[in-house]
Amino acid sequence: MNTEQHEQYEYARRRIKQKKRLYYHFVLFLIGSLFFFLVEKFFDIQPFEGWYLWAVTIWFFLFILHFIKVYITDRFMNKNWERDQIERLMAKQEQRIKQLEQKIENESNSKKEF
């Protein structure tokens, strides 16, 4: 297996692991929410009014952040994105260096004329 194939394999393996963890998180969220509901209804444990809804809402918010990380952020900002950004910045730096060299050359030519 060459380097490029190995990188593709590692990327696919990492993405599958991320998705698997997200699905696990979702199932855990559903079971946990059901558990909170049952505790509130049958055991009448209420540290404060509406604690069940607050707990589920906060957990749902964390799940949404996890979802965004897996399906949006990591999908677009992967190694290829990093490489493209590095290449783009290096090209800008190279262009800026050439501009500065040209400016220095022009200034030195104008000084020689005097």
Is 53 in the same domain as 100? no
Is 62 in the same domain as 12? yes
- Separation between Cα atoms, residue 36 and residue 109, nearest integer Å: 79
Q: According to the model, what pLDDT value does residue 114 have?
A: 59
Is 1 in the same domain as 50? yes
Domain span including residue 85: 79-114
pLDDT greater than 70 at residue 113: no
Q: According to the model, what pLDDT value does residue 50 have?
A: 78
Total domains present in the chain: 2
User: Is the pLDDT higher at 2 or at 1?
Assistant: 2
- Separation between Cα atoms, residue 21 and residue 2, nearest integer Å: 29
Is 62 in the same domain as 98? no
Residues 8-43 as b/e (b if ≥16 CB within 10 A, e otherwise) read eeeeeeeeeebeeebeebeeebeeeeeebeeebeee
Global pTM reads: 0.65
Q: According to the model, what pLDDT value does residue 24 have?
A: 97
- Separation between Cα atoms, residue 67 and residue 44, nearest integer Å: 33
Q: Which of 22, 29, 23, 27 is nearest to 60 (CA)?
A: 29
